[in-house]
Each structure stands twice: as structure tokens, then as C-alpha cells.
Amino acid sequence: MKVSDLTLLILQINAAIDSGECPAISIGEVRAAIEDRSLLKSLQDKCGRKIDLSLHLSGGITGFEEAYEDAIGRIYDAYAGDERRKWGVQNQGLCLALAWTNEIIQQSVGDVEVKP
């Protein structure tokens, strides 16, 4: 799974949050979708045209969906219940999906120096 594919997903989730047009998705709904290994499909179903995950779901990015569901499942197994304390998220499921996708990047990349 490439970092650029994850950052594209973050941009899509962020746009869905910013539009305010995606129906409210609870943290419980996100947790349930992670347990079912269907978070991406669930987000696409719930947000419809407000989020474009076609590349992530259609195989446009080979192997992404399976790798992502595995990675977010590991974060869920380790941190579910600590969302507010660790990431400051307590209300919106989309915000949790955003934070945990960012965590996948942080865990896989580590410290990267950005040059000015």
C-alpha cells in the first residue's frame, strides 16, 4: 500500500467532512464496518457522491482495499475505545476514519524530514 494512495483517501474523507453533505456516521458505525472489513464500502454507501473511493474500491489501485482493511483492523484491535484520549475524536465516524488512516501512514513511514 503506497502512502500516496492513503493520502488520496485522506483527501476524499476530508472533502466529505468539509462538504457537510455526507450523512452523520457514528463512531459505532465505523467500528462495526471495520469489524466487518467493509469500511471503504460502507463510507462509499453512506456518503454516495460526496466521496469518491472508486480507485480504492474498483481495483484501480491494486490490492488497496484488502491491505487497507487489514491495516485499519490492526489499529482498531489496538486502540478501539481510546479514540478521544489518543486522537481527540469522540463524535464523528468520518473523523475517526481520517485519524486512523493518518495513523496507518505514521506507523508505516515513521519520521520523514521535509526540506524547505
101 — pLDDT class (breaks 50, 70, 90): very high
Tens of pLDDT, residues 37-77: 999 999 999 998 888 898 899 878 888 999 999 999 999 99
**What backbone torsions phi and psi does residue 73 show, to the nearest 5 degrees?**
-65, -40
d(CA 114, CA 116): 7
- For 7-28, the pLDDT digits (tens) are 999 999 999 999 888 888 999 9
Q: What is the pTM of this model?
A: 0.88
115 within some domain: no
Find the CATH number of the domain harbouring 42. 1.20.120.600
- Output the pLDDT for position 112: 62
pLDDT value of residue 22:
85
In this structure, is residue 114 part of a structural domain? Answer: no
Whether the CA torsion 7, 9, 10, 11 is positive or negative: it is: positive
Is residue 18 assigned to a domain? yes
Q: What angle do CA 41, 45, 46 make, to 5 degrees?
A: 120
CA distance 24 to 46: 9
What is the extent of the structural domain holding 101? 3-108
Please state, in angstroms and rounded to a whole number, the distance separating the CA atoms of residues 32 and 52.
21
pLDDT at 104: 93
**Residue 51 resides in a domain:** yes
Mean pLDDT of 96-101: 96
Is residue 15 included in any domain, yes or no? Answer: yes
Count of domains forming the chain: 1
Q: Is the pLDDT assigned to residue 114 strictly greater than 80? A: no
